[in-house]
Amino acid sequence: MDVSVAWRAALIQGAAVAVIAFALGATVSREFFEDYGWAAGPGAWAACALLTAAVLRLPLAQTLGGAALAGLPGLVGVIAGVHWLGPPLGVVLFGLWCGRLAAASGVRRPVVA
């Protein structure tokens, strides 16, 4: 596990998701989320994961696969009526996935100060 990559991935993903959530919340109506939230949420999550992969130089396909798996708690949260719980848990799981992915790739990345 590359702990440095795990932390950075979680921070980048969390910040990117927050920016998109605030931007969408400020610009679109509640009806949009009721009608298209099923696509907008996962689409935004995937876009943020691709950004994280690019910044950290992680393999895009494997990072996107990890984002899909890490996003499953969000689905469980929506079904259970506690949507707010899914994204923070997903960010943590995504960071862990990226840390393991970086360690498995064997590529040493410089620590950014």
pTM: 0.85
- DSSP per-residue codes, 39-103: HHHHHHHHHHHHHHHHHHT--HHHHHHHHHHHTHHHHHHHHHT-GGGHHHHHHHHHHHHHHHHHH
pLDDT over 70, % of the chain:
93
Average pLDDT over residues 22-38: 88
Least confidently predicted of 1-5, 24-28, 75-79, 86-90: 75-79
- Reported as a single tens digit per residue, the pLDDT across 56-68 is 999 999 999 999 9
